[in-house]
A and B are shown apart, each in its own frame.
Chain A
């Protein structure tokens, strides 16, 4: 759905800010409406408390990730590069996403394969990127006509370690990410075939990954489609 007037005067950072703001309006709206519903009904308020907590946490995560990206890009905060074990990072990411996935009735699975190499990265930046991306995948799976699971996966390739999120969906085509980048800030649904909202988490994740000299790409692994990044292996720990 294109915006009226095209929105063409926004620069890339403003487009990202607009996406994040519009993304955040969704959980905030849900919180506000749940609050209305629960007012005067203590039993309902108590029942909705876990939803409120989860929505607040996921909103906070997106804001923190966006701010982290700005701080690192602006060199306000230096990268703390270290060898990072991708399997452990994906487990931690899944733990953070679990409450949101539970609220939306989406299953999370982890598949890191045997002996995935450590990568050279800033652990906080990398985890923030995958959590932001994970929020989009959870929402997308919850909206699917036949909801499936979200799989956090890593595998070795000739170029490094490919880590990302995948789903049993054909809605992530080969050029969908390229088109989404082109229309971000100009279309309300840059990933319309995948998710209904602004998908801000995808762009926040991509910004964070770019600070690590990686970027998101559309990936395919067996019958699964996803968004992944190819990360540099850490040579320091390859013998472990």
Chain B
């Protein structure tokens, strides 16, 4: 799969991208919402891994923008975030309205868990 990794911290992004590549995926990296839209436009990702806390426009704003384009309406998104689950009051909205498939709390998610969550998206890719 081709993964769009939206992660503001370059050092963390390096680790996540390397793990996903070791798992056989290709990865396009973006540090913010604007560059993520550009990357999606150029590279047609099969799935996205997104941190909610971005500088400038945040992850939720990015998702609304992302879902406003028909070609990205069904691209599965995994939230991989520093926001603890008990502070995500809008988790249901993220899943029902913005097509977030999984919400992973970064501090509790090993690289192997992230790769497994991405792998779970693969069968769903053809069922659009």
The answer to whether A104 and B11 touch across the interface, beta carbons within 8 angstroms, is yes
The answer to whether B12 and A30 touch across the interface, beta carbons within 8 angstroms, is yes
The answer to whether B56 and A26 touch across the interface, beta carbons within 8 angstroms, is no
Does B117 reach chain A (CB closer than 8 Å)? Answer: no
Q: Which of B8, B15, B16, B58 contacts A1 (CB 8 A)?
A: B58
Q: How far is the CA of A194 from the CA of B54 in the complex (A)?
A: 9
Does B64 reach chain A (CB closer than 8 Å)? Answer: no
Q: Looking across the interface, which residue of chain B has its beta carbon closest to that of A26?
A: B9
Does B18 reach chain A (CB closer than 8 Å)? Answer: yes
The answer to whether B82 and A25 touch across the interface, beta carbons within 8 angstroms, is yes
Interface 1/0 per residue, B43-75 and A, CB below 8 Å: 000000001111110100000000000000000
Q: How far is the CA of A114 from the CA of B79 in the complex (A)?
A: 50
Question: From residue 4 to 45 of chain A, which have CB atoms closer than 8 A to chain B?
Answer: 4, 22, 25-27, 29-30, 33-34, 36-37, 44
The answer to whether A145 and B18 touch across the interface, beta carbons within 8 angstroms, is no
Q: A33-B16, A195-B55 are in contact. Are A142 and B32 (CB under 8 A)?
A: no
Question: From residue 25 to 84 of chain A, which have CB atoms closer than 8 A to chain B?
Answer: 25-27, 29-30, 33-34, 36-37, 44, 51, 55
Interface 1/0 per residue, B6-23 and A, CB below 8 Å: 001111101110110000
Distance in Å: Cβ of A212 to nearest Cβ of chain B: 29
The answer to whether B11 and A4 touch across the interface, beta carbons within 8 angstroms, is no
Interface 1/0 per residue, A99-141 and B, CB below 8 Å: 0000111000000000000000000000000000000000110
The answer to whether B110 and A36 touch across the interface, beta carbons within 8 angstroms, is yes
Complex interface: chain B residues within 8 A of A196 (CB)? 8-9, 51, 53-55
The answer to whether A145 and B11 touch across the interface, beta carbons within 8 angstroms, is no
Which has the most chain A C-beta neighbours within 10 Å: B15, B31, B87, B88?
A: B15
The stretch from A87-95, A185-193, A219-227 touching chain B is A185-193
Instruction: Report A's interface with B, CB cutoff 8 A.
Output: 1, 3-4, 22, 25-27, 29-30, 33-34, 36-37, 44, 51, 55, 103-105, 139-140, 142-145, 171, 188-189, 192-197
Query: Which 7 pairs show the lowest CB-CB distances between chains A and B?
Result: A196-B8, A33-B15, A143-B8, A196-B55, A4-B87, A196-B53, A30-B11
Task: List 20 A-B residue pairs with CB atoms under 8 Å apart, sorted by A's residue number.
Answer: A1-B53, A22-B82, A25-B107, A30-B12, A30-B15, A33-B12, A33-B16, A33-B19, A34-B11, A103-B10, A104-B10, A139-B9, A140-B55, A142-B9, A143-B9, A145-B35, A145-B56, A171-B56, A192-B56, A197-B8
